[in-house]
Amino acid sequence: MSPQPPDPQELAARLSGGDRSALARAITLVESTRTEHRKLAAELLQACLPRTGKAIRLGISGVPGVGKSTTIDQLGVDLTADGRKVAVLAVDPSSSRSGGSILGDKTRMSRLSMDPQAYVRPSPSAGTLGGVAARTRETMLLCEAAGFDVVIVETVGTGQSETSVADMVDTFLVLMLPGAGDELQGIKKGILELADIIAINKAEGENRQRAQNAAAEYIAALKILMPRVKEWQPPVLTVSGLAGEGLDKLWSEVERHRDVTQAAGAFEKTRADQQVKWLWTMLEDRMLGRLTRDRDMKAKIRELEAQVRSGETAATMAVESIMARLGD
Ligand code: GDP
């Protein structure tokens, strides 16, 4: 971040003109944890708001190695060839540890990263999952304001990050590997509940039959779950990200999901619920942050924590004395 902070209104104006350097600057601003930048970032997002919300927001999840980046690379170049502007963002809670994921993501999606109609942004590396997810959500809005009409948010298949991503997209796609039937037992039920579309990847050559068997099992497993939107039974597809097979069908299912949920009234409701949930998540984060930033308060909480641990003070009483300190 340059020492001279950007003017949010001016940045928003440049962004809406599709200026790439303005987008990069805007993202740096929303990713900044400095208090003064946070206020500017809020102003920037407010200024961008009228231009947001028009993109197709697609989440893609799956275990490492399932073929997320291969599939996104292929799907992404298909979409840009079709005249769309595609942004790819990542929520990877592990990237704060590994660092330097920029190179990783560029090489992982080699064609899309070179595509002038696409923008590939690696996971912000700072902070907790909550922080990373919040920045990604804000980055998504900035990309929309900059005119991207498809925003793909990629995440690895770990519980909390999947939920965070499902909470910011319209359609949540889960990639699976073709496997023997018993593999299905290892799948967490939670992920099936989040999925709007399931795609069994690597379904080419000798894998094709296994993938179809796996698809049949997922279809059976999904039948016993209550669909989140009653008008939408999640389809199970077979694709090959590497060979580019089945991706047309996959994309048409993404669009069909949007159409069906819009017609059912679930689309707008989900987006509105997501906004409100986001408000509360941020508020909780900030309030908690405030509690623990105050040094006296922090010391007091530590002391009470020790007393609760030793059984000297009841947890209820500890909360009462903390709240009393806040004037409650
Ligand atoms: P990610 O970790 O989920 O992003 O997975 P990658 O896209 O990096 O893919 C992991 C490995 O699987 C790479 O060696 C890919 O070439 C391979 N792979 C990805 N998609 C396919 C596919 O459709 N078929 C086959 N056979 N291999 C694939």
Interval 246-256: pLDDT, tens: 999 999 999 99
Which residues share a beta bridge with 240? 245
Element at 306 (helix H, strand E): helix 295-310
Of ligand 1's listed atoms, the one at least distance from the Cα of 207 is: 26
Neighbours of 59 (CB within 10 A): 26
**130-139, 142-151, 209-218: which is most confident:** 142-151
Q: Ligand 1 within 6 A of 67 CB? A: yes
- Ligand 1, residues 69, 242, 245, 247: which to mutate, most atoms within 8 A of Cβ? 242
- CATH code of the region 1-49: 1.20.5
Instruction: In whole angstroms, give the CA distance from residue 133 to residue 176.
Output: 23
Instruction: In whole angstroms, give the CA distance from residue 224 to residue 260.
Output: 21
CA of 50: how far to CAs of 62, 74, 314, in Å? 33, 31, 49
Q: Ligand 1 within 6 A of 164 CB? A: no
> In which band, very low, low, confident or very high, does the pLDDT at 102 lie, cut at 50, 70 and 90?
very low
Q: According to the model, what pLDDT value does residue 99 have?
A: 43
Q: Which two tokens stand for residue 6?
A: 């950007």
Tell me the average pLDDT of the chain: 88
- CATH code of the region 52-264: 3.40.50.300
Q: Ligand 1 within 6 A of 240 CB? A: yes
Q: Which two tokens stand for residue 224?
A: 């016993």
Closest alpha carbon to 163 in 152, 174, 149, 175: 174
Q: What is the largest CA-CA distance in the chain?
A: 68
**Res 97 pLDDT > 60:** no
Distance in Å, CA 103 to ligand 1 centroid: 18
Distance in Å, CA 323 to ligand 1 centroid: 52
CA of 128: how far to CAs of 46, 92, 121, 123, 317, in Å? 24, 10, 18, 12, 29
Which is higher by pLDDT, 40 or 126? 40
Which bin fits 99, alpha (ψ -120 to 50), beta or left (φ > 0)? Answer: left
Domain boundaries, the chain: 1-49, 52-264, 277-325
Residue of minimum CA distance from atom 9 in ligand 1? 67
Residue of minimum CA distance from atom 19 in ligand 1? 67
- Let me know: does 192 contact 221? Beta carbons within 8 Å: yes
Mean pLDDT, residues 283-298: 85
**Res 305 pLDDT > 90:** yes
Neighbours of 164 (CB within 10 A): 22
Distance in Å, CA 255 to ligand 1 centroid: 24
Instruction: In whole angstroms, give the CA distance from residue 142 to residue 150.
Output: 12
Instruction: In whole angstroms, give the CA distance from residue 125 to residue 131.
Output: 10
AA letter at 73: D
Q: Ligand 1 within 6 A of 66 CB? A: yes
Mean pLDDT, residues 138-142: 95
pLDDT in tens, 17-34: 989 999 999 999 998 888
Which residues share a beta bridge with 183? none
Q: Please tell me the pTM assigned to this model.
A: 0.89
Instruction: In whole angstroms, give the CA distance from residue 270 to residue 265.
Output: 9
Q: According to the model, what pLDDT value does residue 94 have?
A: 63
pLDDT in tens, 152-194: 999 886 778 888 899 999 999 999 988 745 555 556 667 888 8
Q: According to the model, what pLDDT value does residue 53 have?
A: 94
Q: Does residue 198 sit in helix, strand or coil?
A: strand
Residue of minimum CA distance from atom 27 in ligand 1? 202
- Let me know: does 308 contact 318? Beta carbons within 8 Å: yes
Q: Ligand 1 within 6 A of 202 CB? A: yes
* 52-264 has the same fold as 1-49: no
Mean pLDDT, residues 220-235: 88
Instruction: In whole angstroms, give the CA distance from residue 321 to residue 325.
Output: 6
- Let me know: does 153 contact 90? Beta carbons within 8 Å: yes
Q: According to the model, what pLDDT value does residue 44 have?
A: 96
Distance in Å, CA 65 to ligand 1 centroid: 6
Mean pLDDT, residues 266-286: 91
- Ligand 1, residues 66, 68, 70: which to mutate, most atoms within 8 A of Cβ? 70
Contacts (Cβ under 8 Å, ≥6 apart) of 270: 170, 261
